């Protein structure tokens, strides 16, 4: 009971912090930010005249128009910046806004309780589910506690144990992915990091219960895949899902992280490309300005998508789910070759 109350107080404290924080502009938001500052200055006038009120109305319209224009045309690197925004809602925020109830389950029964990986029973729209999610933390203390969302082997072991429990009791599984990758430290490697992720991939493919996976921010490499084998995979509009970070790719191909924007474009890891490749099933729209601008609206969109996935999978038997999951992942990467036509 003490742990449960602590978890709830922590969630409420986190929500209070995200509400109170000022939105820091990203590089491509500077023009919008300047307009917002001018608007704030006008709105603070004690007795604005009719001309000032007209200016306020026009400025509000211009801010909406400009934000819509900017966020409808983000490139891949700009999407990464939004996905990493320090005020972007994280797993604990969505647990509060999307789910009706959450009872956390701890430990892997072998080594310890990895706080980068949160697991537990949840309820969404009255339906019981098993929740699995990675949480980064928002300040230094939280990030240290949750290891910046980078789980150790015990985190993936904990997640799989809770998934197997869900399958035993026919509970759907909801998995939230938000990590730069699995923790690459010496201790993690000594305890079988790569083996545990590979083991999760195999065992998740065999689960006889619906699995819905959502990339809410960063979907980094095997760290994301370790809880990402699902029947229905979706991602938020400004999230990304990639085999490697843009900086890592730039370091390999161009020997310097300054080419991260070029690498981001080459990797094609944003929603539209992944939808085209069949890696994901849908893109969850975010409010203009990103989920950090309007967390409640983003959470509402996310909840609608999860319920849509649950409805789609609810009528399938365990055997049908496993076969569907197998075929889904076998299709990824298939392409057709068209022979070049000889010029007449």
Specify if 147 maps to a domain. yes
Residues 90 and 219 in one domain: yes
- Poorest-confidence range of 14-23, 265-274, 300-309, 329-338? 14-23
Give me 214's structure tokens. Answer: 């959502």
Specify if 266 maps to a domain. yes
Specify if 59 maps to a domain. yes
Segment 280-327, tens digit of pLDDT: 999 999 988 889 989 999 999 999 999 999 999 998 999 999 999 999
Specify if 18 maps to a domain. no
- Residues 134 and 157: their CA atoms lie apart, in Å, by 13
Specify if 15 maps to a domain. no
Q: What is the CATH number of the domain that holds 153?
A: 3.90.226.10
What number is the average pLDDT over the span 66-94? 90
- Residues 193 and 175: their CA atoms lie apart, in Å, by 19
Q: Which residue has the higher pLDDT, 281 or 70?
A: 281
Residues 36 and 160 in one domain: no
- Residues 91 and 325: their CA atoms lie apart, in Å, by 25
Residues 94 and 217 in one domain: yes
Residues 57 and 91 in one domain: no
| DSSP assignments along 169-221, one per residue | TT--EEEEEEES-S---HHHHHTTHHHHHHHHHHHHTT-SS-EEEEEEEEEEH
Residues 243 and 299 in one domain: yes
In this predicted structure, what is the pLDDT of residue 342? 56
In this predicted structure, what is the pLDDT of residue 340? 60
pTM of the predicted model as reported, rounded to 2 decimal places: 0.85
- Residues 281 and 215: their CA atoms lie apart, in Å, by 12
Residues 65 and 113 in one domain: no
Residues 65 and 197 in one domain: no
Of the segments 10-24, 62-76, 243-257, which one has the largest average pLDDT value? 243-257
Give me 82's structure tokens. Answer: 């939004």
In this predicted structure, what is the pLDDT of residue 337? 65
Q: Residue 21: pLDDT above 60?
A: no
Residues 216 and 270 in one domain: yes
Residues 56 and 150 in one domain: no
The number of folded domains in the chain is: 2
Specify if 336 maps to a domain. no
Segment 172-203, tens digit of pLDDT: 999 999 999 999 999 999 999 999 999 999 99
* H helix count then E strand count, the chain: 15, 8
Residues 58 and 165 in one domain: no
In this predicted structure, what is the pLDDT of residue 338? 64
Specify if 17 maps to a domain. no
Q: Residue 97: pLDDT above 60?
A: yes
Residues 267 and 155 in one domain: yes
In this predicted structure, what is the pLDDT of residue 2? 43
Q: Which domain holds residue 33?
A: 26-73
Among residues 73, 105, 131, which one ends one of the domains? 73
Residues 6+ apart with CB under 8 A from 209: 166, 167, 170, 171, 172, 173, 318, 321
Segment 22-47, tens digit of pLDDT: 567 787 777 777 777 787 877 777 67
Torsion 264-185-233-238 (CA) sign: negative
Residues 181 and 94 in one domain: yes
- Residues 232 and 202: their CA atoms lie apart, in Å, by 17
For 247, half-sphere exposure in the C-beta direction (CA atoms, 13 angstrom radius) is 6
């Amino acid at each position: 009971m003490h742990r449960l109350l602590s978890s709830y107080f922590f969630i409420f404290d986190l929500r209070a912090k995200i509400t109170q924080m000022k939105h820091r502009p990203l590089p491509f938001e500077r023009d919008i930010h300047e307009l917002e500052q001018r608007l704030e200055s006008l709105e603070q006038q004690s007795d604005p005249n009719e001309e000032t009120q007209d200016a306020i109305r026009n400025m509000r319209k211009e801010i909406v128009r400009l934000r819509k224009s900017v966020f409808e045309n983000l490139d891949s690197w700009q999407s990464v910046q939004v996905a990493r925004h320090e005020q972007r809602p994280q797993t604990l925020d969505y647990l509060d806004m999307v789910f009706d109830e959450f009872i956390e389950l701890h430990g892997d029964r072998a080594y310890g309780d990895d706080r980068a990986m949160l697991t537990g029973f949840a309820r969404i729209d009255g339906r019981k589910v098993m929740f699995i999610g990675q949480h980064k933390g928002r300040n230094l203390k939280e990030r240290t506690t949750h290891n910046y969302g980078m789980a150790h082997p015990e985190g993936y072991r904990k997640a799989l144990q809770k998934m197997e429990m869900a399958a035993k009791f026919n509970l759907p599984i909801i998995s939230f992915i938000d990590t730069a990758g699995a923790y690459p430290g010496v201790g993690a490697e000594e305890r079988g990091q790569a083996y545990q992720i590979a083991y999760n991939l195999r065992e998740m493919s065999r689960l006889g219960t619906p699995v819905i996976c959502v990339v809410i921010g960063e979907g980094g490499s095997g760290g994301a895949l370790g809880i990402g084998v699902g029947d229905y995979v979706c991602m938020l509009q400004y999230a990304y899902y990639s085999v490697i970070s843009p900086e890592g790719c730039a370091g390999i191909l161009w020997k310097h992280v300054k080419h991260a924007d070029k690498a981001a474009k080459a990797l094609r890891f944003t929603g539209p490309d992944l939808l085209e490749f069949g890696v994901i099933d849908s893109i969850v729209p975010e409010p203009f300005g990103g989920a950090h601008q309007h967390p409640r609206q983003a959470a509402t969109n996310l909840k609608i998508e999860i319920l849509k996935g649950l409805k789609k999978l609810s009528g399938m038997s365990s055997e049908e789910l496993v076969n569907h999951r197998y075929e889904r992942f076998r299709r990824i990467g298939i392409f057709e070759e068209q022979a070049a036509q000889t010029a007449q």
